[in-house]
Amino acid sequence: MSTGTASRQIIEQIAAADTGRVNLMEVCGTHTMSIARSGLKQILPDNIRLISGPGCPVCVTPDEVMDAVLDLSLTDSVTIATYGDMIRVPGSRRGVTLQTLAARGADVRIVYSPMDALEIAASRKDREVVFLGAGFETTAPGTAMAVQVASERKLENFTVFSMLKTVEPALRALIGDPDFNIQGFILPGHVATIIGERGFEFLASEYGIPGVISGFEPEDILVSIYRLVMQIGSGRAEIENEYTRAVAHAGNTMAMAAVNNVFEPADSLWRGLGMIAGSGLKIRDEFSKYDASVRFGLHIEPLGRKSPCRCGDVIRGMITPRECPMFGTNCDPENPAGPCMVSSEGACAAAYRYMI
Amino acid sequence: MMDEYITLDYGSGGRKTSSLIEEMIVPLFENDALAELGDGAVLKSEGRIVFSTDSFVVSPYIFPGGDIGKLSVCGTVNDISVSGGQPVYLSLAAVIEEGFPADDLKQILESIRKAADEAGVQIVTGDTKVVERGKGDGIYLNTAGIGFLRTPGLSPSAIRTGDRVLVSGTMGDHGTAIMLARNPDLLAGNIESDCAPLHEMALALGELGSSLRVMRDPTRGGLATTLCEFVEKSPHGIEIDEDAVPVAPAVKSACDILGLDPLYSANEGKLIAIVSPDAADEALQIMRSHRYGQNAQIIGTVTEDHPGRVVMHTPIGGSRILTRLTGAQLPRIC
């Protein structure tokens, strides 16, 4: 059976479910992208609304944190090693990014993994290498490993600037918002490979909200939507796993152990959601030698500044990208006002690039 | 007698320069114009000429499927070919960093020789400079080429509603191969650059006359960017089927992992052609009958809907816009 035929059949089942207006939220940048690239929204029945939540690690990074990173990049002998996505993200000053600062002499290297950053430090003892640890539970284990290896090898010039966040506190904060109006979650498959099905069970058991852990092919997402609609239609609230090829009930306990060995929960500032208790990962004191905030005395204070960028409302699902007054006029991928437009996983970038 | 490494003396214009030219370059590229070793080459011409230039700074300079030398010949040969020219003469300029291994230089020059032979072009004039260590990335090359115009009238303005869009083979090979060659620890892969000369295929397509509207080789920015260039600021749009675009499975997997898109990755041995609907099947057969066109496909159609835009139909039944690349592709975080 061709993909087109199979998907048509699933769509018919979804349409037949007769649930009325249903809002489903995904909280994963890769899902945002897969939905946009495949044109999935166009083939869904009108009563199903797909909303992008705070799933893009770049998009939830507040201006204050980016400003600290940008200032750090101009420090003598500092080499910033980062995932590629970060280099075009502005802070509070429009047009100032790691990429534009690199053109003015800042040493910025794109790496695929924290271990690459570690090897740069090992081979360049004259540089202070700072790895920007962005991401959720998916990238946390790799980052933890880099800190552990740095410690074993007694590196003197390698630190991690942890921007890591965890998904559960953000979901709780979303649900606690008075405007919250989501009937089901499409849950992030990669995060789930780490925290397992059990990491999401609180959604059903404490809040009565169904969730389906989904893979990343458009077919995976379509099946997950179908399963959510079936649950909603029959008044059930469970956590289902559509991504069984990668996700186990307990997740990856070894990876979680590595994360807990190096990091501990800390309060963390999210764009749009504000300060959420225990939602970030901070490097533990015994590894403080590898903590860039300690090495460079970085303190992030919320600025409370009002910016015209509505990225925070977009990632809470309050407005769609097109409803932002700057969309396409004052804000586009070449001249982004905020991270939702510059990140390749951001809802605004996806809408701008892919949607007709 | 050549040393093991290129030193600054080789660029000085003195005896070492002469030995570089006489021992390495002239013997490899034997032709009357070059043998004169004059400041300029005097050449025969036939009618209107097509003239093109490109510089090459690829790193690493040797990669699976080729090297900077082969690339420098094929790049300019292909630019001339898709412009309707039969490539005939090339100039070759090299800027070499002090300390460059002479054996690598020899390998690159031999690649150039081989590629030039296959493309039927002569290297008729050239230049070599050597810069201090740290002031060059190993080696930079520039080629400029002259071709005789064989297929006039090729232009995006010749495109008409209903025309078909063809690609001569799998997309994204070169860009992906280079990305892997730069990150050898990241992935093991058997992906080679598709670097190849397309002069014969382009000339054969030229036999279609005015049914052939335009050709282009999708280098930086890939297939998607090239299609956007065809229709931007025009009354036409393009619709393609994602299923119809040939992508090698290994390239697709590597791109999935690296966070790249094969439709935006460079190709160095492929061409895109837009032809009238009645000539589409013949154009496809022409491509497939050539050594470098065996995976050719018809991938889409020119429409008057959504003018200026390229729309792709996805396997799941949706559609999305293919926009231009706004900067370098950045690999995703997670």
Q: How confident is the model at residue B334 (pLDDT cuts 50, 70, 90)?
A: low
What residues of chain A, 37 to 76, have a C-beta less than 8 Å from chain B?
A: 37-43, 57-58
The mean-pLDDT minimum among A26-35, A236-245, B157-166, B237-246 falls in A26-35
A349 pLDDT more than 70: yes
For the cut 80, the answer to whether the pLDDT of residue B186 exceeds it is no
Q: How do residues A101-131 score in pLDDT, each as one tens digit?
A: 999 999 999 998 899 999 999 999 999 999 9
Phi, psi dihedrals of residue A331, rounded to the nearest 5°: -145, 115
Residues of chain B positioned with their CB less than 8 A from the CB of A3:
315-317
Cβ of B317 within 8 Å of Cβ of A87? The answer is: no
What pLDDT score was predicted for residue A344? Answer: 74
Residues 6 or more apart from A70 whose CB is under 8 A from it?
Answer: A91, A93, A96, A97, A98, A101
Contact A197, A204 (CB under 8 A): no
* Angstrom distance (rounded) from CA B204 to CA B279: 13
CB contact under 8 A, B333 and A112: no
What mean pLDDT comes out for the span B6-33?
Answer: 80
Gap between the Cα atoms of A304 and A309, Å rounded: 13
| Residue-averaged pLDDT of chain B | 92
Are B316 and A37 an interchain contact pair (Cβ–Cβ within 8 Å)?
A: no
User: Alpha carbon A11 to chain centroid distance?
Assistant: 28
Closest Cα in chain A to B327: A334
Do residue A43 and residue B334 have CB atoms under 8 angstroms apart? no
What integer is the mean pLDDT of A230-253? Answer: 94
Strand order in the sheet with A211-214: A48-52, A22-26, A184-188, A211-214, A239-241
Q: Which residue has the higher pLDDT, A339 or B108?
A: B108
Write the burial class of residue A313 (CB in 10 Å: 0-12 exposed, 13-18 middle, 19+ buried). Answer: middle
Residue-level pLDDT at B5: 87
Would you say residue B333 has pLDDT above 60? no
- Residue B332 banded pLDDT, cuts 50, 70, 90: low
pLDDT at site A68? 95
More confident residue, B6 or B51: B51
Q: Quickly count: other Cβ atoms within 10 Å of residue B298's Cβ.
A: 19
Give the whole-angstrom CA distance, residue B215 versus residue B167.
10
CA-based nearest residue to A344, from A54, A56, A41: A56
Question: How many residues are there in chain B?
Answer: 334
pLDDT in tens, B70-101: 999 999 999 999 999 999 999 999 999 999 99
Average pLDDT over residues B52-63: 95
Of B313, B330, B334, the CB nearest to A57: B334
The pLDDT, as a whole number, for residue A85 is 83
pLDDT at site B330: 64
**pLDDT digit string (tens) for A176-193?**
999 899 999 999 999 999
- Residue A297: pLDDT band with limits 50, 70, 90: very high
Query: Chain A partners of B186 at a C-beta cutoff of 8 Å?
Result: 112-113
Q: Of A8, A36, A112, which is closest to B317 when you measure between CB atoms?
A: A8
> Which residue from B314, B327, B332 is facing A345, i.e. has the nearest CB?
B332
What's the mean per-residue pLDDT of chain A?
92
Q: How many other CB atoms are there within 10 angstroms of residue B156's CB atom?
A: 16
A30 vs B contacts (CB less than 8 Å): 332, 334
Q: In this structure, which amino acid lies at residue B143?
A: T
pLDDT at B275 over 70: yes
Full 3-state SS string of chain A: CCHHHHHHHHHHHHHHCCCCCEEEEECCHHHHHHHHHHCHHHHCCCCEEEEECCCCCCCCCCHHHHHHHHHHHCCCCEEEEECHHHHHCCCCCCCCCHHHHHHCCCEEEECCCHHHHHHHHHHCCCCEEEEEECCCCCCHHHHHHHHHHHHHCCCCCEEEEECCECHHHHHHHHHHCCCCCCCEEEEEHHHHHHHCHHHHHHHHHHHCCCEEEECCCHHHHHHHHHHHHHHHHCCCCCEEECCCCCCCCCCCHHHHHHHHHHEEEEEEEECCCEEEEEEEEEECHHHHHHEHHHHCCCCCCCCCCCCCCCHHHHHCCCCCHHHCCCECCCEECCECCCHHHHCCCCHHHHHHHHCC
Instruction: Identify all chain A residues contacting B332, using CB atoms and an 8 Å cutoff.
Output: 29-30, 33, 83-85, 344-345
pLDDT at B191: 92
* Residue recorded with tokens 């002499």: A105
Q: Are B50 and B89 in contact (CB under 8 A)?
A: no
Report the DSSP beta bridge partners of residue B145: B52, B90
* Pair B124, B88: CB distance under 8 Å: no
d(CA B36, CA B143): 20
Q: Which pLDDT does position A204 carry in this prediction?
A: 97
A190 → closest Cβ in B323, B326, B334: B334
Facing residues of A265 across strands?
Answer: A281
Question: How far apart are alpha carbons A261 and B61 in whole angstroms?
Answer: 43
Distance, in Å, from the CA atom of B15 to the CA atom of B276, rounded to the nearest integer, reads 58
A308 touches chain B (CB under 8 A): no
Phi, psi of A260 (to 5 degrees): -70, -25
Please judge whether A218 and B314 are an interchain contact, meaning their C-beta atoms are less than 8 angstroms apart.
yes
Q: Which residue of A has its CA nearest to B320?
A: A354
The pLDDT of residue B248 is above 80: yes
User: Is any Cβ of chain B less than 8 angstroms from the Cβ of A198?
Assistant: no
Q: With a threshold of 0.85, tell me whether the complex ipTM lies above it.
A: no
d(CA A25, CA A41): 13
**What pairs with residue B274 in β-bridges?**
B165, B214
Instruction: Please give the span between the terminal C-alpha atoms of chain B, in angstroms, as a whole number.
Output: 54
Per-residue confidence band for B331, with pLDDT thresholds at 50, 70 and 90: low
Q: How many CB atoms lie within 10 A of CB B33?
A: 18
A322 interfacial to chain B (CB closer than 8 Å):
no
- Tokens for A57, please give them: 């690690």
Residue of B76, B52, B64 lying closest to B197 (CA atoms): B76
Give exposure, B60-87, as e/b (b: 16+ Cβ within 10 Å). Answer: ebbbebbbbbbbbbbbbbbbbbbbbbbb
Q: What is the 3-state secondary structure (H, E, C) of chain B?
A: CCCCECCHHHHCCCHHHHHHHHHHHHHHCCCHHHHCCCCCCCCCCCCCEEEEEEEECCCCCEECCEEHHHHHHHHHHHHHHHCCEEEEEEEEEEEEECCCEHHHHHHHHHHHHHHHHHHCCEEEEEEEEEECCCCCCCEEEEEEEEEEECCCCCCHHHCCCCCEEEECCCCCHHHHHHHHHHCCCCCCCCCCCCCCCCHHHHHHHHCCHHHEEEEECCCCCHHHHHHHHHHCCCCCEEEEEHHHCCCCHHHHHHHHHHCCCHHHCCCCCCCEEEECHHHHHHHHHHHHCCCCCCCCEEEEEEECCCCCCEEEECCCCCEEEECCCCCCCCCCCC
Residue pair B167/B296 in contact by the 8 Å Cβ criterion: yes
Question: When comparing pLDDT for B40 and B12, which is higher?
Answer: B40
pLDDT over 60 (residue A356): no
Q: Is the pTM of this model over 0.90?
A: no
Task: Yes or no: say if B56 and B142 are a contact pair by the CB < 8 Å rule.
Answer: yes
Residues A70, A94: contact at Cβ < 8 Å?
A: no
Task: Name the one residue in this structure whose structure tokens are 């935006």.
Answer: B264
